[in-house]
């Protein structure tokens, strides 16, 4: 059983809202007094998302020698040059005080799954024009490093074992993709489930996304007898003191599963340098296959960047269901502390899991874009960043679980900016400053409280906020542009939509839910479905619709006004 321990809600400043407890027992504390997610549907969580920290690595063996072991010229304490192809047959550790050059056109490889090449030198490293390194795990520590035009570090499909207790490799014979940063796709059609509830291998190693080091996972097979799944992507770590030049390719993609196997998931790439230049390619994508593998994890910690290499972490393509590629992996940009989830416009129903967010320090920005679908599959959580949460180009961000619509989230950011994107909430959500553009939608099948100190701007046609019960409060200004809609309840409520109850009836609920603050709270005896409260200024060119609306302007009282089943329009 998976168990999450999202932080309980301790607000320094309080305006809370809306609990909703269609099924209060879901919120029961477990024996160890932490909220746990229900275990009745173990299928949903067939894995532990945060494997324990691995034991410290064993000390390195002594370094191999340049000439005897590697067939090179020179010495590792001056300059070692690899002048001809070198087929290593087992892990190597290479260390010295000099330079290490792999000359143009040379292949330096240990091409068995999981085989590791670790290079630790004090001088320069260079991988020549058209040279290649193949390995499962390539780690380089050097002063400067150049990966020249046409060169490749290729750990594609050469993963060793992924961390234990992960289920990145799907079970069954559906030919599903492996998971890692994103889930693997599964082409099975199950009409009893939502498309996003069907996936292959699961995601893992969220907790190490800032310093990713896990192998990708193998895809599934379509046959019981033969394992056709593509292997996972390997691991690349570059720790360069000064200057890193990437004009070649650095690859940790998942292996291809062909027509009978799922793609492997992308592996991990962790780059740390003072300065990075070049126009190469850095990629930890899911492998293609019967169903595509999930993207891997990339983290880039570089202080100064020039004509950046391009970075890719998208899911692999699914031959059997082209509309549903593997889920996007994660790209963490360490200097601005930003997380980017992009599926490179590959359409998918397969999700990227976002779990707990760090508090000290907070991340700055989160971008979900280019058809990525990110989800926070928890019951309680605070998703907090310092800057912006931005959903662009068909990005989807969902909170909670469709089957348990009583989740509750707080989303804290300077700004939530949405363009042609969707937020789905299964439960309640609190957010601050919100701007919706180009047909963006915030949808909740239960209570949605949107509370902020700034502007709520639904700028034009297709921009909607809708929920079974919608409460907007504390905004300085609400702008509902032409063609925009604020609506409660949902027009076409489905069976998973819940009639929300206010306040939590369970003793174990956080105190804020039992005793909401006085100002602007929601009085459960009022049967409204849309409330706008303590908002300075409202400008409505679009539509506000609710069966009963309770408006209140001004500081110290909420005086309800009702419009039964009537649309309100005004200038």
DSSP tally for the chain: helices H, then strands E: 1, 42
Could you tell me the smallest distance in angstroms from the CB atom of residue 187 to ligand NAG?
Answer: 23
CB atoms within 10 A of CB 476: 13
Of 344, 462, 506, 543, the residue at the interface with ligand NAG (CB under 6 A) is 344
- Told to check if 74 binds ligand NAG by CB under 6 A, we report no
Could you tell me the smallest distance in angstroms from the CB atom of residue 381 to ligand NAG?
Answer: 28
CA–CA dist 115, 91 (Å, integer): 5
Q: Which stretch binds ligand NAG (CB under 6 A): 63-71, 138-146, 208-216, 494-502?
A: 138-146
Closest-CA residue to 311 (of 288, 328, 338, 331): 331
CA–CA dist 446, 469 (Å, integer): 6
Residue pair 308/275 in contact by the 8 Å Cβ criterion: no
Residues comprising the chain, all counted: 571
- CB-wise, 185 or 441, nearer to ligand NAG? 441
Task: Provide the β-strand partners of residue 107.
Answer: 132
Closest-CA residue to 324 (of 423, 168, 182): 182
How many residues form the binding site for ligand NAG (CB under 6 A)? 46
Could you tell me the smallest distance in angstroms from the CB atom of residue 443 to ligand NAG?
Answer: 9
Residues 450-509 that bind ligand NAG (CB under 6 A): 455, 457, 459, 479, 491-492
Of 36, 86, 116, 124, the residue at the interface with ligand NAG (CB under 6 A) is 124
* Residues 6 or more apart whose Cβ sits within 8 Å of residue 515: none
CA–CA dist 241, 212 (Å, integer): 19
Closest-CA residue to 262 (of 165, 157, 377): 157
Could you tell me the smallest distance in angstroms from the CB atom of residue 357 to ligand NAG?
Answer: 26
Strands 330-333, 338-342: pairing is: antiparallel
- Told to check if 75 binds ligand NAG by CB under 6 A, we report no
Task: Provide the β-strand partners of residue 144.
Answer: 124, 243
Could you tell me the smallest distance in angstroms from the CB atom of residue 48 to ligand NAG?
Answer: 28
76 token code pair? 């590792």
Could you tell me the smallest distance in angstroms from the CB atom of residue 429 to ligand NAG?
Answer: 19
- CB-wise, 186 or 522, nearer to ligand NAG? 522
Token pair 């275990």 is at which residue? 39
Could you tell me the smallest distance in angstroms from the CB atom of residue 242 to ligand NAG?
Answer: 5
- CB-wise, 36 or 370, nearer to ligand NAG? 370
- Told to check if 304 binds ligand NAG by CB under 6 A, we report no
- Told to check if 173 binds ligand NAG by CB under 6 A, we report no
Interacting residue ranges for ligand NAG, rule: CB under 6 A: 87, 89, 95, 99, 104-105, 120, 123-124, 129-130, 141, 143-144, 146, 148-150, 152, 154, 156-157, 239, 242-243, 247, 249, 251, 278-279, 307, 344-345, 370, 393, 435, 437, 455, 457, 459, 479, 491-492, 523, 525-526
């Amino acid at each position: 059983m998976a168990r999450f321990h999202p932080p309980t809600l301790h607000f320094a400043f309080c305006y809370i809202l809306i609990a909703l407890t269609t099924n209060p027992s879901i919120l029961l504390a477990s024996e160890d007094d932490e909220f746990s997610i229900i275990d009745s549907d173990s299928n949903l969580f067939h894995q532990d998302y945060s494997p324990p920290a691995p034991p410290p690595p064993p000390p390195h063996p002594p370094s191999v020698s340049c000439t005897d072991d590697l067939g090179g010229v020179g010495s590792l304490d001056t300059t070692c040059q690899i002048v001809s192809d070198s087929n290593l047959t087992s892990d190597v550790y290479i260390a010295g005080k000099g330079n290490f050059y792999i000359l143009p056109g040379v292949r330096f490889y240990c091409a068995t799954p999981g085989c590791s090449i670790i290079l630790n030198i004090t001088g320069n490293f260079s991988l020549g024009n058209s040279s290649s390194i193949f390995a499962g795990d390539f780690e380089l520590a050097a002063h400067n490093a150049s990966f020249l035009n046409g060169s490749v570090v290729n750990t594609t499909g050469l993963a060793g074992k992924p961390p234990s207790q992960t289920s990145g490799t799907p079970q069954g014979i559906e030919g599903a993709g492996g998971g890692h940063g994103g889930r693997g796709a599964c082409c099975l059609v199950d009409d009893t489930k939502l498309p996003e509830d069907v996936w292959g291998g699961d995601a893992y190693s969220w907790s190490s996304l800032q310093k990713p080091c896990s192998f990708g996972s193998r895809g599934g097979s379509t046959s019981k007898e033969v394992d056709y799944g593509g292997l996972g992507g390997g691991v690349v770590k570059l720790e360069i003191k000064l200057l890193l030049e990437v004009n070649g390719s650095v690859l940790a993609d998942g292996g291809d599963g062909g027509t009978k196997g799922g793609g492997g998931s992308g592996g991990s790439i962790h780059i740390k340098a003072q300065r990075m230049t070049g126009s190469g390619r850095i990629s930890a994508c899911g492998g293609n296959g019967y169903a595509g593998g999930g993207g891997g994890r990339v983290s880039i910690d570089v202080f100064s960047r020039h004509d950046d290499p391009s970075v890719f972490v998208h899911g692999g393509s699914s031959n059997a269901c082209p509309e549903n590629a593997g889920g996007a992996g994660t790209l963490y940009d360490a200097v601005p502390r930003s997380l980017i989830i992009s599926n490179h416009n590959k359409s998918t129903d397969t999700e990227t899991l976002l779990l707990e967010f760090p508090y000290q320090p907070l991340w700055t920005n989160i971008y979900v874009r280019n058809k990525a679908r990110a989800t926070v599959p928890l019951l309680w959580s605070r998703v907090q960043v310092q800057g912006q949460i931005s959903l662009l180009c068909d990005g989807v961000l969902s909170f909670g679980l469709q089957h348990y619509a009583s989740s509750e989230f707080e989303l804290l950011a300077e700004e939530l900016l949405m363009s042609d994107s969707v937020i789905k909430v299964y439960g309640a959500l609190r957010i601050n400053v919100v701007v919706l553009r180009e047909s963006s939608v915030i949808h909740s099948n239960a209570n949605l409280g949107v509370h902020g100190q700034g502007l709520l701007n639904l700028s034009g046609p297709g921009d909607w906020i809708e929920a079974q019960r919608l409460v907007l409060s504390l905004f300085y200004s609400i702008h509902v542009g032409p063609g925009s809609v604020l609506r409660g309840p949902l027009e076409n409520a489905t069976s998973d939509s819940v009639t929300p109850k206010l306040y939590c009836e369970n003793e174990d609920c956080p105190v804020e839910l039992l005793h909401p603050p006085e100002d602007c709270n929601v009085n459960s005896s009022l049967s409204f479905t849309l409330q706008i409260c303590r908002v300075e200024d409202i400008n409505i060119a679009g539509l506000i619709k609710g069966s009963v609306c309770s408006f209140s302007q001004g500081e110290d009282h909420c005086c309800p006004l009702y419009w039964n089943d009537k649309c309100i329009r005004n200038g």
